[in-house]
Structure 1
Amino acid sequence: MQSEVSPSLSVLLVEAFYGGSHKQLIDLLKENIDGCCVFTLPAKKWHWRARTAALHFSQTIPSCPSYRVLFSSSVLNLCELVALRPDLARLKKVLYFHENQLVYPVRKDQERDFQYGYNQVLSCLVSDVVVFNSSFNMESFLSSIPSFMKKIPDHRPKDLDRLIRPKCMVLNYPVQFPDVSRLLPKHKLLRRTANVDDQKPVSDQDPHQPISGPTTDPHQPTSGPTTDPHQPTSGPTTDPHQPTSGPTTDPHQPTSGPTTDPHQPTSGPTTDPHQSTSEPRTDQDPAGEAADQVKPLHIVWPHRWEHDKNPELFFNTLLKLKERRLDFHLSVLGETFTDVPEIFSEARRLLDSHILNWGYLPSKDDYLQVLCQADVVVSTANHEFFGVAMLEAVHCGCYPLCPKALVYPEIFPAQYLYSTPEQLCKRLQGLCRRPDVARRHVVAVDTCSYSWAALKSRFQTLLADEGP
């Protein structure tokens, strides 16, 4: 896709992988920033986009004397583009990192393709401003550069991280949170205006204790966007349970599967177990608020069906809950791709009686409806640089449970973090026994601070031609 060029255009938006969060950001900037001109490539064949997009754009982006700023994601080899197009080299060049290839999980480090990370380092060196969607993303990238460069057999460059760091800043990804009040059940609507001074995290050991104030760990980062790019974080946090995902793969289009009656119970995989339902099913009880406090806990997992999201940990945890005869309902959402982990078909069979929704929901409204009806949202990711799905679920009133690793301590207070699989199981076990605890808890995360309304002025400044 490309925009028509006019003399009034001053911001050149270039996206080599125009899909998902990359597309959402480009569209958001084009709609809200004056003078934008957009050039993109479809979101497929990721590896080839990273290798060859610069050459394509060097031939398709016309010369325009009014350009002042070039904005691109780190998929593009910006170094190659400005070398091929000296007229673009004079622009203020802004590079945005949705992810970074230096710590992107692979099954074996030997499988990591050196070139992708190397391209990102080169792109940083020619950029004027390097922007990361989280402090974890920035620090994991910068702290990994020295060891990454040691893979070069000899004549290794030095101090590249020190050259790049002064250009770096954190600017959280702007999430467009819709108004979901019409989709919220009664208890969530009432909860939004309730006094929440008496909240604390639920524990399986004593589920009958009242909730008290939010417990925070003074050593954990507070929620909300990080604005000081020079404050160090803990660097690339690794999960003791190593990720099982393969190297960065070619993302494909999601599957949607056959349409089923949303009011009928799921009967397990009668055809392809990887196919999804396309309409949401909810467990809302019309009897009202009283029934809302006693029905089974509704757990949602809204992530891509890939190994780096660690679905094995999630489903193994739920199977333990089932073995202990705990009641719960389950919605497994998210996009599916060509190589779906086998655990999904096995889990659908073993957890059949608990399943309310299974698979990708192409309708955003249907997706939000399921989130609004759910009680708890879980992440088991081995890879996350920001986590839009978790924030969307919190916006819809879900109680979050996330690993105490990756980006999550940056966004979520300590009460929503778990360190081990045993802790995750214990937290879910406690909530299954007391689902009302999750339903009357107001999550201590200010999602508004990650909204476009809160971040718009910073993006406007970033794309202004007044220097970094």
Structure 2
Amino acid sequence: MSVLLIEAFYGGSHKQLMDLLQEELQEDCVLCTLPAKKWHWKARTAALYFMQTVPTSTNYRILFASSVLNLAELAALRPDLGKLKKVLYFHENQLAYPVQKCQERDFQYGYNQILSCLVADVVVFNSAFNMESFLTSIGKFMKLIPDHRPKDLEKMIRPKCQVLYFPVRFPDVSSSHSVSSETQEKGFGEQTRYQSSFSFHLILSTVRTSKPFMPEHKLARLEKVTGVKRNGDAYQLEGLPGQQESRALGGLMKNSNAHRESGLCEAQPGLCTTQHEGLPSPLTAPARPNKSEASEGTNPCQEEDKQHLTFNLSNILSGRDYQQRPLHVAWPHRWEHDKDPETFFKVLLKLKEKELPFHVSVLGEAFTEIPDIFSEAKKALGSSVLHWGYLPSKDDYFQALCMADVVISTAKHEFFGVAMVEAVHCGCYPLCPKALVYPEIFPAEYLYSTPEQLFKRLQNFCKRPDIVRKHLYKGETAGFSWAALGGKFRSLLAAEPREDL
């Protein structure tokens, strides 16, 4: 029990990471959580709760927590925990998180994160964009204090910082069941049973008895980029059976020191991390092309009473040949203002006005307050809608992505973007803003600068959907897998016993 995992907001990607670490570390860790509700109250009060509920132990050596927790408060309230090596992980940061109005930004949340960084021994960010947007905003943020402002906080915090990408558990979407029933019961956003090296590493020597999630044209593209050959329903990887996992991973991350602007990485086919003296360098491996970007896109889905719908694979695969079907666009994001659904639907409605053929699946989770644009857009889009609503089953979710041609982000906030990376893994052609974290994750050809550029790209794709269905993705997703990143996390959470404990 040497690693203490603390998550004050146990949901979404926060839950995924903690569950993954607990699974991989097994008996070597203990997990303490609070439910993913009322985020603001968790950020304010979680330290006091954990002071009372985290069991005492002489075996702890590492404390790993997300930045929702006020680590400074917990360290003061529990001196025994304060002596541990403290690792703080940033999924997002409150200094760069967008608010609808400037006066809505509560100073306390960003201030808590700064205090936590000062107390932490290691500060880890899920992207270079996340790290730089936080560090470079500290000075301006502190000017909100009317007088007696602290100085040089960025210089104090930066040496502790490093980038370690979020480890995505990629499913085997080449099969008819990508996740186990146990995983489905735990709901969307969590995948616990399958290995996640290269996108389709698990299909080695496995016989499939039913149709795969991926339509035929995507599987054909897959064969080209992974060296996977199909004989009937049997799949085998070219090469020697005893080859190491690294061969399947292909190109992982590329050193970005020569490709940086204002501390951020430019668009690269590989991955990149911002390095600092004394921090480990990025993973490296022989470069290799990644998966295909194609899909079949226009088929009905079943409607339910509520927003939670079921995606029907048999219906998707029936009907016209995929080459004749309209472009299928996916939008797999939270139904909130920071994902800018207004821009997305404005572009789609413009396509509709020009009578261009397309279908759309609007995925992602809605919460208590749903922006009005969703109900308005659903009515206006009419028969162009294939699917509308959150899919609690991860199988259904990946199935929907596999049937799409293009995945779009219009986000005004993104510090990593698990949904976009998952969609690319499922063979979707990504279109993302040329801003935020996206230039760090995706090659330049998948980025747009304005809504007008997004419209023009989609207009061309609507006229020629075969362009995306034949496209081979120019970037890499393998470097975001646990197989690629697990060693880094293990090193981060390894520590020699300290004499002062």
- TM-score w.r.t. the length of structure 1 is 0.83
Mark the CA change 1:120 to 1:265 in structure 2 (over 3 Å): closer, same or farther: closer
SS of 1:453 mapped into structure 2: helix
Offset, 1:18: 0.5
Q: For 1:197-346, what aligned pairs fall within 5 Å after superposition? A: 220-230=266-276, 275-281=306-312, 284-286=316-318, 291-346=321-376
Aligned to 2:149: 156
Matched, 1:447 2:477: yes
Aligned residue number for residue 83 of structure 2:
90
- 2:192 corresponds to: none
Distance 1:121 1:277 in 2: 39
Partner of 2:161: 168
Spell out, residue by residue over 1:229-274, the C-alpha distance to the aligned partner (whole angstroms, 9 max, x if none): 339xxxxxxxxxxxxxxxxxxxxxxxxxxxxxx95676xxx98xxx
- Please tell me whether the aligned partners of residues 79 and 122 of structure 1 are also in contact (alpha carbons under 8 angstroms): yes
Query: What letter matches 1:326 in structure 2?
Result: L
Which residue pairs with 1:424 in the alignment? 454
* Alignment partner of 1:36 out of 14, 24, 29: 29
- Structural mapping, 1:21-100, within 5 Å: 21-34=13-26, 35-100=28-93
Counterpart amino acid of residue 45 in structure 1: K
Query: How many angstroms does 1:333 deviate by?
Result: 0.4
Q: Is the 8 A contact 2:301 2:311 kept in 1?
A: no
Query: Shift in Å at residue 221 of structure 1?
Result: 3.1
Partner residue in 1 for 2:414: 384
Q: Deviations over 1:69-128 (max 9, x none)?
A: 000000000000000111111100000000000011001212110000000000000000
Does structure 2 retain, via aligned residues, the 8 Å contact 1:172–1:225?
no
- The alpha-carbon deviation at position 171 of structure 1 amounts to 0.1
Shift of 1:144: 0.1
Determine if contact 1:376/1:398 at 8 Å carries over to the other structure.
yes
2:354 & 2:41 partners in 1: Cα distance?
A: 48
1:134: which partner in 2?
127
SS in 2 for 1:130: strand
* Deviation for aligned residue 1:284: 3.7
Q: Within 2, Cα distance between the matches of 1:62 and 1:368?
A: 38
1:122 to 115, 119, 134: 115
> How far apart, CA to CA, are the structure 2 residues paired with 1:64 and 1:224?
42
TM-superposed deviation, 1:421: 0.6
Within the alignment, does 1:362 sit opposite 2:354 as a pair? no
Cα deviation, residue 194, structure 1: 3.0
Alignment of 1:457 with 2:487, yes or no, is yes
Structure 2: tracts of 5 or more residues without a match: 175-211, 227-258, 261-265, 278-298
State the 1:442 CA deviation: 1.4
Give the corresponding residue for 2:195.
Answer: none
Cα deviation 1:428-465 (Å, max 9, x = unaligned): 00000000010011112211100011100000000001
Could you tell me how far apart the structure 1 residues matched to 2:122 and 2:455 are? 42
- Find the aligned partners of 1:428 and 1:19 in 2 and give their Cα distance: 33
CA deviation after TM superposition for structure 1 residue 285, in Å: 4.7
Deviation at residue 307 of structure 1 after TM alignment: 0.6
| 1:466 Cα deviation from its structure 2 partner | 4.5
Identity of aligned residues (%): 65
Residue deviations 1:171-207 (CA, integer Å, cap 9, x gap)? 00000000001200000000112379xxxxxxxxxxx
The CA distance in 1 between the partners of 2:92 and 2:407, in whole Å, is 22
Return the alpha-carbon distance in structure 2 between the equivalents of residues 152 and 32 of structure 1: 43
**Aligned counterpart, 2:106:** 113
**Are the equivalent residues in 2 in contact too, given 1:312–1:343 (CA < 8 A)?**
yes
Judge conservation of contact 1:101–1:117 (CA < 8 Å) in 2: yes
Match of 1:20 in 2: 12
Q: Distance in 2 between matches of 1:80 and 1:433?
A: 57
Structure 2: distance between partners of 1:191 and 1:286: 20
Distance across 1 between alignment mates of 2:162 and 2:312 = 42
Name the residue aligned to 2:295: none
Aligned partner letter, 1:141 = F
| TM-aligned CA distance change 1:223 to 1:88, over 3 Å | farther
Contact 2:302/2:310 (CA < 8 Å) preserved in 1? no
Q: Distance in 2 between matches of 1:97 and 1:277?
A: 30
Contact 2:2 2:29 in 1 (8 A): yes
Alignment-derived partner of residue 11 in structure 1? 3
| Secondary structure at the counterpart of residue 169 of structure 1 | strand
Distance 1:264 1:123, change over 3 A: closer
Corresponding residue pairs, total: 402
What is the alpha-carbon root mean square deviation over aligned residues? 2.1
Take 1:293 and 1:409, find their aligned partners in 2: how far apart are those partners? 30
C-alpha distance in structure 2 between counterparts of 1:91 and 1:429, whole Å:
55
Counterpart Cα distance in 2 of 1:264 and 1:299: 14
Contact 1:12–1:38 (CA under 8 A) maintained in structure 2 = yes
> CA–CA distance in 1 between the matches of 2:301 and 2:124?
47
